[in-house]
Every structure is written in C-alpha cells, then in structure tokens.
Structure 1
Amino acid sequence: MGADAKHRLKFIDRLLATLVQLRHGVTHDVLAGWFGVDHSTITRAIGGVRLLLAERGCTVSPDVRLRSLAEVVDHLRASGKTGIIDGTEIRVRRPAARRKGRDTFISGKNKQNAVKSMVVTDGEGRVLWCSPARPASCADITHARQLGLVRLLADGSAVEILADAGYQGLGPQTGGQMVTPPHCKFKQGTPDWYEEIHERRRKAHSSHRIRVEHSIANLKNWRALARHLGRREHMGDTVRAVAGLLSQQQSANLAAARQM
C-alpha cells in the first residue's frame, strides 16, 4: 500500500463492496453502478480487501486468531478440544479447451468442474481454518497429507480429530489421533450382534462429526462459495476470507449465548 494510485473509494466503501460481493454474489458491474465508479475500480477494491480478509485468519477469541493448520493443531492441543475435518467442493467455471491441467478440476465424486478445500472446526462446530483451494480431482486423504496434517500430529502430544471415511488410512499413520468411522470386519455373512454394534458406533461417530457439515452449509450460504463464476485463482483467498468472517460471527454468537 502507498506505491499504487490512490483509491477513488474510501476504505469503508471498499469493505462494504467486498462484503456484498462475497455474501450475495453481486456482479462488479452492479456494484460499480451503486457506488458510481468504473468497473475496474470495484475489481481493484475487492481484490485488495479480499486479500486482507483472507490474511486476517479465523477468530477463536478476541485476542486469538488462527491462520495456519499448525496453529489450529496447537490450539486443539492447548485447549484439549476435539477437532473435526472434512472436505468440501465448490463449483467453478470449466477451463478453456486444450488448456494444460484442464481435467484436474473434474470431481470424481460429483462429475463436475470444482475446487476443493479442507474445513477444520472444533467440537462445537466453530470454523477454525479453511485450506487454500485445490483442484477437485485430489482425494481428501491426499489433500490432508499434502497439507502436512500427518506430520503435525506426529510432532506433539495427542489430539483427537474426527473425520469421515474419505480419511480412512490416516488413523494408523497418526497413532489413532485421526478417528474415522468404524470399518466392518465382515465382507459377507455379518452376525446380527456385530451388525448392531457396528451401526451404533457408526451413528455415534456421525452424530459428533455432523457439526462440520453444518459449518460447511453456513459457508455455502455465502453466494461466492455456492458457485464461483470468477477467476479460479482467487478461490483460495475467497474461501479463507469467508471462513474468517463466519468464524467472527460464530464467536460473537457463542459469547452472547454463554452470557445469557
């Protein structure tokens, strides 16, 4: 800041334009008409404020913000809380024909062009961190390994993290710190007594892990993450910016509920 041309909009107007675009998905042309400026002015303003919001991190308390996966793991260890992780996909525009890496954005699960982000919450469902966006062809377990989650869990005291079946295999690698749904030991001819126990354990695990699904749904309420029609290169900053704003709201609501 300071070496570029002066902004035509005040900071509060740039912030308001960015929040409206993230929350409601309003186009830059409409925002330019509202503020009486050129389309390029809105694009420049949103690009700068979005990066500031992304670097702000997720709010845990008024004096604690988490900006990396390492800080999240340290926070869970220090607080003794259980973490929950899950991957979410966001639809994006299809890359141009004959472009290198075009097929990497095709999701094997949803059969559509998308990017993927890993969401981490605590046991209460409060968003602690969202990873930068990756092409959706990357599997959840591969994404977690690339982010260094296995190494972070092995370098300190034990912490419990709940995950779905997409992360099965990380449990033994993390000394049981990654807890995934119980695996059925019988391929066929499962005894009735074992099937009943297995189903009860599976439902108990799902009932605890559902909180991350609710947080992902709250993230998708922001139209910028429901379906992204802009440049795919901006998705990483967009996801982290929305996660930081949502965590601020969740922390404020939780603090108000505790005071009642």
Structure 2
Amino acid sequence: MPRPRGVDLRVDGTEVQVRRPRAGRAGRKAFVSGKKKQSIAKKKQSTAKKKQSTAKTTTISDSSGRLLWPGADRPGRMRDQTAVRAEGIAEQFRLHPKAKAEADEGYRGLANEFPDRVSAPPKKPKNDAPLGERHAWRKQRRRQSSRRICVEHVIGEEKRWRPLQRYTGRHEY
C-alpha cells in the first residue's frame, strides 16, 4: 500500500447573518458579532452602526478548491482561533504531522504553534519601517493570498445558498 503524501489544506472562517435569537434565550449575546455591522438611519443624523447577529463557520478546502469540511456553525462572537480549538482542528495537526495549511490572519495562533506546517500572512511592518520592507511585506502577503484564494471561492459557493437564511421557522430546523 502506498504511503500517503502530505496534505495541503486551506483554512478560513466566515460569518453569515442569522435571525436574532428570541429574547430571554440563554446565550443570546453570543451571536452578536463585533465585526459585522449594519448601517441604520436615525432621525436627523447620518447613519449609525448596529451590531448584527451572526453565525461563524470554519471552512477547509484542498489546494484544488474542493470543499473538504464545511465546518460547524459557531456563535458570531467566537474568534477564529477559538473555533479552531473547539472544533479539534489543532488536535488534528498534532495527529497528522504531514498535513500543511494556508490560513488567514485569524489563525495566527495556530501558525505560531505549528510554524513549519501552518502559514499565516506576515505581520504588517510598523509605520516607521523602511519602504523596501513595506514593499516586501505587500509582495509576501499577495503571494500567500493567491495560494489561499481557492478557499475563498469555496466560501463564496456556500454563500450562494443565502436565500435559505430567510427561512422563518425555528433555528433548530
């Protein structure tokens, strides 16, 4: 039997707006995202920002853009890094030493824990950094982004099913 070669994964998370859980429900605030905001019009003022209720999903694809794992839905307040630990992805990297992954900025902790196997975008240089260093950072970031684009396409494919969000029944169904 042939030995399996290294697996090259793409990991990313996304937030999708969901109906706000019922008043009085335990854990209602967990769905309020600090990241997603919706503009609302106020009387005699410009627009204000209202926090949205969201669900977060971690998606994993291969380097060809095939969906491998659509992930589990988590409340929108949960950070990407916390979701990775809760879903057991970090543990899978310990169990499968040949697996490698490209991830976005939200997974920097995972990249720090497995530096030779998980690649996150480089940290942005300080404002007083030399111009050459800033150009090198931008070039490195674009290279890493172009390797991760396939998981963004997978997420886009999933979000084409957005009309299902308007289902007005109970969340459990």
TM value normalised by structure 1: 0.56
Give the 3 Å change call, closer, same or farther, for CA 231–178 of structure 1 in structure 2: farther
2:77 to 137, 146, 167: 137
Contact 1:107 1:113 in 2 (8 A): yes
Gaps of 5+ in 2: 37-50
Residues in 2 aligned to 1:92 and 1:228: alpha-carbon distance in whole angstroms: 10
Deviation string, structure 1 residues 194-227 (Cα, Å, up to 9, x no partner): 1111111000001111111111111111235555
Give the 3 Å change call, closer, same or farther, for CA 217–226 of structure 1 in structure 2: farther
Does 2:118 align with 1:174? no
Give the percent of matched residue pairs that are identical in Structure 1 and Structure 2. Answer: 38
Q: Structure 1 counterpart of 2:93, which letter?
A: L
Deviation string, structure 1 residues 103-159 (Cα, Å, up to 9, x no partner): 111111103111111110001111001112111111111000111111211123232
Give the 3 Å change call, closer, same or farther, for CA 226–218 of structure 1 in structure 2: farther
Contact 2:55 2:73 in 1 (8 A): yes
Residue 15 of structure 1 is matched in structure 2 by none
Larger radius of gyration: 1
Residue 97 of structure 1 is matched in structure 2 by 23
Partner of 1:107, secondary structure, is: strand
Q: Which has the higher strand share?
A: 2
Contact 2:100 2:117 in 1 (8 A): yes
Partner of 2:52, secondary structure, is: coil
Give the 3 Å change call, closer, same or farther, for CA 224–134 of structure 1 in structure 2: farther
Gaps of 5+ in 1: 1-76, 235-260
Residues in 2 aligned to 1:177 and 1:126: alpha-carbon distance in whole angstroms: 20
Residues in 2 aligned to 1:226 and 1:85: alpha-carbon distance in whole angstroms: 23
Deviates more, 1:141-150 or 1:175-184: 175-184
CA RMSD of aligned residues (A): 1.9
1:197 to 136, 153, 156: 136
Residues in 1 aligned to 2:168 and 2:33: alpha-carbon distance in whole angstroms: 17
Q: Which runs of 4+ in 1 moved over 4 A?
A: 224-228
Q: Structure 2 counterpart of 1:160, which letter?
A: K
Contact 1:104 1:135 in 2 (8 A): yes
Matches within 5 A, 1:13-32: none
Residue 210 of structure 1 is matched in structure 2 by 149
Contact 2:11 2:59 in 1 (8 A): yes
Partner of 1:202, secondary structure, is: helix
Count of matched residue positions in the alignment of Structure 1 and Structure 2: 157
Cα displacement (A) at 1:233:
2.6
Contact 2:18 2:165 in 1 (8 A): no
Does 2:67 align with 1:127? yes
Contact 1:91 1:228 in 2 (8 A): no
Cα displacement (A) at 1:188:
2.7
Partner of 1:108, secondary structure, is: strand
Partner of 1:85, secondary structure, is: strand
TM value normalised by structure 2: 0.82
